[in-house]
A = this chain, B = another copy of it.
């Protein structure tokens, strides 16, 4: 029941119809008796600089989730940028602190890592190959390093983008990250490119070059079983699907916004 005392959360994106956060968080609020509501806010890139500061000045609005295409732009509306968002160069959540300042964080990487752990794949001490150095690849590479990966190799068709990311990560985790992925020694190889979204896309990499112990992961949600994962499964590798990254999302929101409830 929404009343005059209800606190607000917003999820901003363009498009917005596909977001699942309202169902997830409003169910949590109802179950925990929290007087709050999360609403979808459809805003185009051209209007972000008007809408986002407007939301931030609403006194009873406590937090903002950020989805495509605003994750990079959202960083510039935060007073404090947490390490994961800094490393990823993008944010998927903004939180209002008690002093009125705003903190940005990025859950994509930690969500991916927790999804792996939930099904028994450990990332500590692992050699990780991240294919694709965009927002998702950057977040995953940073989270893998933060979780104790022995080495993270990053590739991208845009080699300058890969080099930029590695330079950024090397400041925080020196000597454990490099451009280039040596698939022959990787324990985990992650597709963080869009290849596989469309029928006829080439494979982002050939999983059959990995050692037999390796896990092959994709962040693409639809199709659930991408050509990469199909080829890997047919060759006997363990695979990890894109949707696993979302399974822990609600817990990440809960922790970031200090909401009650159990994981």
Contacts and interface: CB of A to CB of B under 8 A. Distances in A.
Contacts of A239: none
Contacts of A58: 41-43, 47, 51
B57 A6 contact: no
A98 interface: no
Contacts of A3: 17, 19, 22-23, 40
Contact of A17 (B1, B4, B42, B57): B4
B59 A8 contact: no
Copies in the complex: 2
A20 interface: yes
A17 B5 contact: yes
A47 B57 contact: yes
18 contacts: A2-B23, A2-B38, A2-B39, A4-B16, A4-B17, A4-B18, A4-B19, A4-B20, A4-B40, A5-B40, A16-B59, A41-B60, A41-B61, A42-B60, A43-B58, A47-B57, A52-B54, A54-B54
